């Protein structure tokens, strides 16, 4: 999957913003849980934070993920963001989404490269009111394909965006500014507007040092947030069950859901220290 911080502006983010503005931030809060049901991806983007590849192995079953979501819900979490890897490569994706709704999640956000979405997929995602986020790198197909390292990905992503919009699903598009697409961001935005993407649903951000874009914390301090800002109450569960404070801090595993309960992991001193610094800077 591509490297980007969650674009601001989705309904879930706005709801959380209102909630966090009204209350003191609790270092033990769990507002948003990110799950990565698979580390497999049909693209190999040069800046991917998780270094996703088709050779990756999955370790958790649908039942495992439902258990994680149930635990998070019991702690008050009502937002789940499904990333990866490419989540549509996980056979149990729709079942996981269905169970998340049954458990009581108000917002379900799916990060996808949009290259594999079928009409059937979109129909099922629409039925559960799933918000979609995808990435786009350049209106020049050769540049886009060079970044994804997959020829033909430009056409498939554009087709996916058109299909999502035609279905009336909520869509945000994230763009990452990097040397490969230097000077092409405005042109790409114009291209997306021409497809029907709303300007306020297009986010542009820098490459972050994680995965293929860089390993480890650039400053050597494991407790400093890598991008300087972390929204309160986020937690990430990766495809092997490892838990991280944020999607970029892969050098700081704070537990594993295959061997520990979320409640226990949330009390990990390393997680608490990371959050203390992150929320102070936020």
Is 170 in contact with 132 (CB distance < 8 Å)?
yes
- d(C-alpha 13, C-alpha 231), whole Å: 9
- According to the model, what pLDDT value does residue 155 have? 99
Look up the CATH architecture of domain 11-16+28-281. Alpha-Beta Barrel (3.20)
pLDDT of residue 49: 78
Measured CA to CA in angstroms, residue 244 lies from 156, 268, 271 at distances of 31, 11, 8
Q: Of 84, 92, 86, give the one whose Cα is nearest residue 66.
A: 92
Largest CA distance in the chain: 48
Specify whether the CB–CB gap between 101 and 122 falls below 8 A: no
Q: What pLDDT score does 47 carry?
A: 87
Structure tokens at 26: 């609790």
Contact 255, 245 (CB under 8 A): no
Residues of the chain scoring pLDDT < 50: 1-24
- Beta-bridged to residue 176, according to DSSP, are 205
Spatial distance between the Cα atoms of 208 and 75, rounded to a whole number of angstroms:
30
How far is Cα 162 from Cα 156, in angstroms, rounded to an integer? 10
Predicted pLDDT at 251: 86
pLDDT of residue 57: 84
Instruction: Report the phi/psi class of residue 81: left, alpha or beta, with left for phi > 0 and alpha for psi in -120 to 50.
Output: beta
* Integer Cα distance of 170 and 14 in angstroms: 14
Pairing of strands 107-111, 79-82: parallel
Contacts of 182 (CB under 8 A, 6+ apart): none
Helices (DSSP H) in the chain: which residue ranges?
Answer: 11-22, 62-74, 93-103, 119-127, 141-148, 153-167, 185-195, 262-266, 269-281
What sign does the CA torsion over 218, 221, 226, 229 have? negative
Pairing of strands 131-135, 171-177: parallel
* Per-residue pLDDT at 79: 98
**Per the structure block, which two tokens stand in for 219?**
């400053």
């Amino acid at each position: 999957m591509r490297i980007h911080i969650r674009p601001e502006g989705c309904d879930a983010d706005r709801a959380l913003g209102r909630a966090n503005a009204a209350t003191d931030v609790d270092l033990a809060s769990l507002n948003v849980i990110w799950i990565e049901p698979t580390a497999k991806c049909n693209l190999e983007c040069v800046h991917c934070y998780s270094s996703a590849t088709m050779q990756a192995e999955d370790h958790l079953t649908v039942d495992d993920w439902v258990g994680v979501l149930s635990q998070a819900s019991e702690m008050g979490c009502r937002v789940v963001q499904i990333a990866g890897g490419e989540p549509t490569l996980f056979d149990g994706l729709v079942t996981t989404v269905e169970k998340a709704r049954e458990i009581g999640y108000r917002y379900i956000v799916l990060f996808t490269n949009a290259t594999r979405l079928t009409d059937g997929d979109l129909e099922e995602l629409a039925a559960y009111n799933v918000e979609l986020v995808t990435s786009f790198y350049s209106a020049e197909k050769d540049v886009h394909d060079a970044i994804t390292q997959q020829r033909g990905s430009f056409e498939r992503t554009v087709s996916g965006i058109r299909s999502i919009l035609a279905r009336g699903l909520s869509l945000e598009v994230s763009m990452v500014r990097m040397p490969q697409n230097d000077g092409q961001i405005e042109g790409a935005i114009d291209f997306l507007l021409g497809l029907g993407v709303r300007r306020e649903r297009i986010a542009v951000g820098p490459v972050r040092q994680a995965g293929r874009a860089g390993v480890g914390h650039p400053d050597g301090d494991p407790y400093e947030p890598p991008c300087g800002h972390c929204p309160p109450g986020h937690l990430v569960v990766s495809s092997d069950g490892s838990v991280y404070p944020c999607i970029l801090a892969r050098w700081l595993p704070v537990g594993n859901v295959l061997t520990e309960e979320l409640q226990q992991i949330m009390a990990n001193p390393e997680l608490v220290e990371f959050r203390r610094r992150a929320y102070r800077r936020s």
